[in-house]
């Protein structure tokens, strides 16, 4: 039964349909679902744009499913058609149109957000079953307020869906200890590109389980994930310390992430900033509280054009005394060689710490930069090459900043599962690098083009120099580049595609495979 078709079925449809040669009438007849189907302007409004703001693509229709059967219905309708594709859309926070389907069906996963929320306990520990379309911020709030529990591994920003981050990896300051979010789920419900609804885990349908994790939406649509939980702490001591030398920054960061569980901080990240008073890229971005001042006279004369900041957090309970927390912090901080006098710290509730980027979102929404394009570049760079990367990229190409955070911090490969579809550089330690560019509202279109060109220059430099790196949220235009990206994992990726999405229906916006005729 088609419960509801948006009234405005119009001109735009002709355009979207012309891409696939598909008429909406034809498709709607074969779509047997309980949820809503939106087309025309309503569909384009939901699914025609993303956070990157650099792609604008018209879908044929947006499906707002009630549950997995509706999603399977959309996939099966696409399988029966000549050319139709299907993209799951989480919260549309991709940069390069990865959740779009030109002339295809976009499945709005947010409409299924509340289908699952069940906490359970097994001998291995507590877990929560959540919907693939649920936002991590809602998972956090409910787990903490109703059970005093919380997932272990987070992204910095939580306005992202469970299925969206699991399709990539989901990396943040806890990943050095627990691995990315893909290492913290034990079971999934998936609608495959062949239209099957399958439960999978490490023990059951394990090849599908690992394919989908980090699978860029290519093999199946995640409708439920079982996420591991731990007791939530009450409070967090949040600390930033400044370095002038990259090798001292990396040595301390690597030491911290290599300590045994429980004997280090609970969160370790880092970023590069400009050695100057620029309010967006320089000293003012470091202090954690309006009462803190960054005093540049503390910096040695020899400081260069950019500086480095380690960002650390320690969890504790309300029942822990101040002196116990101080002792734990000093025992670790005492070993680090940051610039004395450039240490900032605050204490805040655990949930507020995890929601810290929400404040930045609110500010960016007020000043308009949440809506302008975001030509972001994310990479994983091996420990072997991170020094060279610093010399060329941070100290030269990006020495004036990128209009937003420039993250760089180490991760441990042994915390990642090799069987997922994610590809990483070689070696146990590698760095995540994120150039999170924000564009002022007054900027000309050419400035966005320059930023995109600089991203390309960085990637090309990495390739030319033989830097051991992988793009995170990869975006390539040619098959050759995808083959290079996956390296010796390419044939496994292709085999998985043949097995679970044999007609190449799913996530066409990744531009890896073409829909089979």
Binding footprint of ligand FAD on the chain (CB under 6 A): 51, 87-94, 98-99, 109, 132, 155-157, 160-161, 163-165, 167-172, 216-217, 221-222, 473, 507, 509-510
Measured distance CA(474)–CA(481) in Å, rounded: 10
Tokens of 140: 């956090």
Which CB, 169 or 332, lies closer to ligand FAD? 169
Virtual torsion, Cα 409, 413, 418, 421, nearest 10 deg: 10
CA distances from 3 to 6, 78, 293, 465 (A): 10, 19, 59, 56
Shortest Å, Cβ 291 to ligand FAD: 27
DSSP per-residue string spanning 296-328:
GGGS-TT--SEEEEEEEEEEE-TTS-HHHHHHH
Q: How far apart are CA 253 and CA 409, in angstroms?
A: 7
SS3 102: coil
Minimum distance of ligand FAD from residue 356's CB (angstroms): 11
CB of 171 to ligand FAD, least distance (A): 4
93 part of the active site: yes
Q: Within a 10 A sphere around the Cβ of 303, how many other Cβ atoms?
A: 16
Q: Select from 408, 428, 268, 248 the least CA-distant residue to 332.
A: 268
Q: What is the DSSP string of 459-484?
A: HHHHHHHT--EEESS---SSHHHHHH
Helix then strand then coil, in percent of the chain rounded to 5, is 35, 25, 40
**Which of the residues 134, 254, 269, 501 is marked catalytic?**
269
Closest approach of Cβ 217 to ligand FAD, in Å?
A: 3
Residue in 516, 487, 514, 486 with CA at minimum distance from that of residue 503: 516
Min CB(115)–ligand FAD separation in Å: 12
Q: Which is nearer to ligand FAD, 218 or 281 (CB)?
A: 218
Task: Of 343, 342, 369, 379, give the one whose Cα is nearest residue 455.
Answer: 379
| Cα-based distances in Å from 215 to 1, 240, 403, 423, 498 | 32, 34, 30, 10, 13
Q: What is the nearest approach in angstroms of ligand FAD to the Cβ of residue 410?
A: 15
156 carries an active-site annotation: yes
Which CB sits closer to ligand FAD, 93 or 497? 93
- Which residue out of 32, 69, 129, 156 is catalytically annotated? 156
Grouping H, G, I as helix, E, B as strand and the rest as coil, residue 52 is coil
Q: Is 35 or 283 the residue whose CB approaches ligand FAD more closely? A: 35
Query: What are all long-range contacts of 276-280, with beta carbons under 8 Å and residues at least 24 apart?
Result: 278/400, 278/401, 280/401, 280/403, 280/404, 280/438
Least distance to ligand FAD, CB of residue 29, Å: 25
Q: How far is the CB of 334 from ligand FAD (least distance, A)?
A: 29
Taking Cα atoms as reference points, which of 472, 512, 468, 507 lies closest to residue 490? 512
Contact 464, 408 (CB under 8 A): no
Residues serving a catalytic function are 93, 156, 269
């Amino acid at each position: 039964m088609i419960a509801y078709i948006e009234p405005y079925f119009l001109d735009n449809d002709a355009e979207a349909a012309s891409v696939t040669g598909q008429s909406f009438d034809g498709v709607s007849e074969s779509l047997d679902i309980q949820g809503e189907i939106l087309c025309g302007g309503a569909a384009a409004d939901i699914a025609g744009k993303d956070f990157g703001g650099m792609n604008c693509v018209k879908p044929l229709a947006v499906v707002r499913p009630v549950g997995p059967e509706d999603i399977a219905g959309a996939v099966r309708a696409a399988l029966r058609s000549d050319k139709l594709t299907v993209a799951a859309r989480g919260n549309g926070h991709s940069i390069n149109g990865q959740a779009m389907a030109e002339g295809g069906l976009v499945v709005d996963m947010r409409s299924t957000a509340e289908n699952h929320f069940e906490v359970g306990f097994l001998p291995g520990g507590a877990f929560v079953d959540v919907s693939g379309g649920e936002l991590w911020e809602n998972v956090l709030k409910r787990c903490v307020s109703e059970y005093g529990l919380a997932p272990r591994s987070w992204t910095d920003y939580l306005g992202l869906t469970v299925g969206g981050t699991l399709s990539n990896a989901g990396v943040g300051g806890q990943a050095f200890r627990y691995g990315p979010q893909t290492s913290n789920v034990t079971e999934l419900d998936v609608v495959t590109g062949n239209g099957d609804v399958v439960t999978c885990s490490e023990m059951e349908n394990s090849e599908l389980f690992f394919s989908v994790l980090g699978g860029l939406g290519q093999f199946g649509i995640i409708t439920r994930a079982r996420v591991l939980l731990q007791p939530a702490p009450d409070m967090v001591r949040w600390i930033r310390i400044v370095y002038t030398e990259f090798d001292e920054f990396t040595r301390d960061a690597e030491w911290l992430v290599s300590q045994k569980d429980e004997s280090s901080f609970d969160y370790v990240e880092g970023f590069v900033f400009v050695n100057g008073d620029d309010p967006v890229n320089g000293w003012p971005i470091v202090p954690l509280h309006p009462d803190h001042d960054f005093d540049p006279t503390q910096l040695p004369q020899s400081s260069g054009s950019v500086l480095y900041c380690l960002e650390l957090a320690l969890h504790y309970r309300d029942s822990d005394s101040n002196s116990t927390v101080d002792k734990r912090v000093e025992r670790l901080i005492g070993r680090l060689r940051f610039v004395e006098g450039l240490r900032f710290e605050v204490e805040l509730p655990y949930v507020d710490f995890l929601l810290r980027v929400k404040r930045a979102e609110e500010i960016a929404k007020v000043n308009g930069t949440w809506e302008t394009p975001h030509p972001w570049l994310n990479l994983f760079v091996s420990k072997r090459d991170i020094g060279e990367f610093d010399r060329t990229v941070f100290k030269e190409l990006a020495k004036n900043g990128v209009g937003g955070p420039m993250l760089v911090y180490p991760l441990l490969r042994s915390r990642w599962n090799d069987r997922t579809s994610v590809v990483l550089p070689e070696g146990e330690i590698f760095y995540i690098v994120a150039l999170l560019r924000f564009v002022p509202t007054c900027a000309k279109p050419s400035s966005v083009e320059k930023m995109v060109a600089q991203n390309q220059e960085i990637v090309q430099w990495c390739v030319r120099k033989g830097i051991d790196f992988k793009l995170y949220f990869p975006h390539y235009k040619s098959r050759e580049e995808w083959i290079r990206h996956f390296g010796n994992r390419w044939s496994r990726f292709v085999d998985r595609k043949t097995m679970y999405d044999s007609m190449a229906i799913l996530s066409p916006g990744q531009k890896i495979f073409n829909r089979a005729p």
